[in-house]
Structure 1
Amino acid sequence: MERQSGGGLGAVQRLGAPLSQAKLRIDGIAKRYGPVVALEPVSLEVRTGELMTILGPSGSGKTTLLQVICGLVEPDGGRLFIDGHDRTAMPVHQRDIGLVFQNYALFPHLTVGENIGFPLKMRGRPAAEVRERVAAALAMVQLGHLAARFPRELSGGQQQRVALARCFVYQPAIILMDEPLGALDRQLREHMQIEIKKLHRETGATIVYVTHDQEEALALSDRICLMNHARIEQVGTPQEIYAHPRTTFTASFIGTSTLLRGVVEGDALVTPLGRFALPEGRLAGAAALVIRPEHLRLGAGENTIEGVVSETVYAGAETRLLFDLADGTTAVLRLPTGMAAPEIGTAVQAHWATDAAVLVPL
């Protein structure tokens, strides 16, 4: 990431500019704690100017990977490169990495302006430069009018913006965010997601963002690194991971899916519920068809399943219909706007177009 000399934060990457070479490269990094495998050997590249989300459930290895990147944990194997230089053994304070935590970690005895300027003062920057950069950072997060207040006088969202500004102000090579919005309510969390996207776009910073919230990952990311059982499950854009999951875990963790399990025989998947036509991308052996709720339609059609309505879920913009199939699978479809949901206990049929499903191995 190209740095600016002097004060100010200005954009360091033009909007729409292509992401360039890897800012961060992880090559076979692994970590164990005695018999417990915290991180299988994993390899990953984060491009310059990219917002990469590390996503996964508790115990998937995402926090261990973050700690290895920032130098808080020493890996048992593999190498870590920043800007092409090996930084595996480099101590935390020399890695030029900024951290944003869930609890904000603001200094209660310092004002907003002093909190933001702290990283620059610790680096011995001239007072005039500190004032200029702090003013630019405050303007960036729209908190210039609160510079003289203390953290206790701010709302949760304002404190989070101060924490973001403090990290962005000294333009580190990489910014790591560890579940920074986890303590906020839903409405404020969604607002802060937009703020982070704006800051990322305006500054061109390289950001690694850790979360267990799949909706947050879909909303924020240039790419997602999905982790499961201490290894990488799939890496791709939000659209790629949602529309083209490569495993049943990805299909289940990212969004909602109906999974029909069976065995591939010729051009069909043979299941306890019947034979279903295969989409492109054939596999052999045990496999599953993944059908997203928006691709299921009520009534018989090209590929048809039957079940009994077990629940309806109203979510404002949509209503989801859940119905149980004969093999114990629960199928989910999205009802058209304005359509009344069948009553619980009603027998229903649903169908999907063959090419709308995705075939994944079991």
Structure 2
Amino acid sequence: MVAIQPHGGERPPKLVVEELCKRYGATTALEASSLSVGEGEFLTLLGPSGSGKTTLLQLICGLVEASEGRVIIDGRDQSRTPVHQRDIGLVFQHYALFPHLTVAENIAFPLKMRGRAAAEITRRVTDTLEMVHLGHLAQRFPRELSGGQQQRVALARCFVYQPSIILMDEPLGALDKKLREHMQIEIKRLHRESGATIVYVTHDQEEALALSDRICLMNHAKIEQLGTPREIYERPRTAFAADFIGLSNIFRGTATANGSLETAHGLFALPDGARCDNGKGALVIRPEHLHLGAGAGNSVAGTVSEIVYAGSETRIIAKLGDGAALVLRLGPGETVPGLDERIVAGWQRDKAVLVP
């Protein structure tokens, strides 16, 4: 069971999930989970396949019926409300555009289905086309558009009728890396300009960090950690969170009486105030916090096994004595060691994070 997590800032709650659970016979797809999403917030459900993120999204929109718990939208219990009556917009990985309709007609479709007046439909479609920068393509058919343009039409079709909440399930999964990064910027802009409340599903950690006000990290059908991208990256609460979000070096060990952690790679000083539960713990050090040479008493030795140049940084992968990998990030101008060179990498004790 996970307690309700407060939404970001002072936003009033738009969506509240209370002890929501889904079971299929003996299999639990989502353990009892609770969270609150603020008005206009961008919350990302992040996690590996099978972590429960898509199940949670489907429970929120009503595509799947909950075994237990409640879904509250704008203060009203919507747990038994049919999906088409929840005032929720859906955007999926596959665009699902009508091939026989033009771009403008695709975007107008949800408004026509809701019986809106012709003048209102024309105005809203025109405004939304401009918002997604597709006004010049209004009379084209989906087959005449690129993948990125089709995805923008799918987004516009959802934004045009101003649903209470917009749910997105891996909407950029079918795009190549460069187009995906471009569309991330487009989604951020659309979110900012529309003020929509968005719940977004992805397994891509970089995408989650780039888009989100907050991230709900999921693992084994439950919420692992919920917080801002900075909080989850800089202060992970578990080894899974540290390992899944970004690159991490993790040293597991046993606490000693003098405030250190005894590991297979040496005795390391713990951050000030850190305590190990049950005498066990793991130190997490991000690659950018490691530097060549001993530092603040914490250091490990290894042999460079890989050098990866990535433009703004050079990534060094060193093999430790037991075969484990150590990852360092070196910035422009820093001296890069050679392949097979023996190195010592150190870190300041307050740059590490202790997790269970």
Normalised-by-shorter TM-score class: over 0.9
Q: Distance in 1 between matches of 2:242 and 2:167?
A: 27
Q: Which amino acid aligns with 2:281?
A: A
Query: Identity of paired residues, percent?
Result: 68
Match of 1:165 among 135, 140, 156: 156
Match of 2:319 among 320, 324, 335: 324
Offset of residue 318 of structure 1 = 1.0
Secondary structure of the residue aligned to 2:275 is coil
Q: Which amino acid aligns with 2:41?
A: E
User: In the alignment, what sits opposite 1:334?
Assistant: 329
Q: How does 1:95-114 map to 2 (within 5 A)?
A: 95-114=86-105
Rate the CA distance shift 1:199–1:281 in 2: closer, same or farther, 3 A.
farther
Which consecutive residues of structure 2, in runs of 5 or more, have no partner in the other structure? 1-7
Q: Distance in 2 between matches of 1:314 and 1:109?
A: 47
Offset of residue 301 of structure 1 = 2.1
Q: How does 1:1-362 map to 2 (within 5 A)?
A: 19-265=10-256, 266-284=258-276, 285-302=279-296, 303-361=298-356
Secondary structure of the residue aligned to 1:25 is strand
Deviations for 1:30-52, whole angstroms, at most 9, x for unmatched residues? 11112221111111111110000
Are 1:97 and 1:174, in contact at CA under 8 Å, matched by a contact in 2?
Answer: yes
Q: Which amino acid aligns with 1:293?
A: P
Deviations for 1:254-300, whole angstroms, at most 9, x for unmatched residues? 00010011112231111122211111342221101100011000012
Are 1:287 and 1:359, in contact at CA under 8 Å, matched by a contact in 2?
Answer: yes
Offset of residue 313 of structure 1 = 1.6
Are 2:312 and 2:331, in contact at CA under 8 Å, matched by a contact in 1?
Answer: no
Q: Which amino acid aligns with 2:328?
A: L
Q: Distance in 2 between matches of 1:142 and 1:50?
A: 23
Deviations for 1:197-228, whole angstroms, at most 9, x for unmatched residues? 00100110000000000000000000000000
Which consecutive residues of structure 1, in runs of 5 or more, have no partner in the other structure? 1-16
Deviations for 1:61-105, whole angstroms, at most 9, x for unmatched residues? 011111101101011111111011111111000000000111111
Q: Which amino acid aligns with 1:251?
A: A
Q: Which amino acid aligns with 1:347?
A: R
Q: Distance in 2 between matches of 1:18 and 1:96?
A: 24
Rate the CA distance shift 1:19–1:142 in 2: closer, same or farther, 3 A.
farther
Are 1:19 and 1:49, in contact at CA under 8 Å, matched by a contact in 2?
Answer: no
Are 1:259 and 1:329, in contact at CA under 8 Å, matched by a contact in 2?
Answer: no
Are 1:19 and 1:50, in contact at CA under 8 Å, matched by a contact in 2?
Answer: no
Which range moved further: 31-40 or 190-199? 31-40
Deviations for 1:219-268, whole angstroms, at most 9, x for unmatched residues? 00000000001000000000000000000101110000100111122311
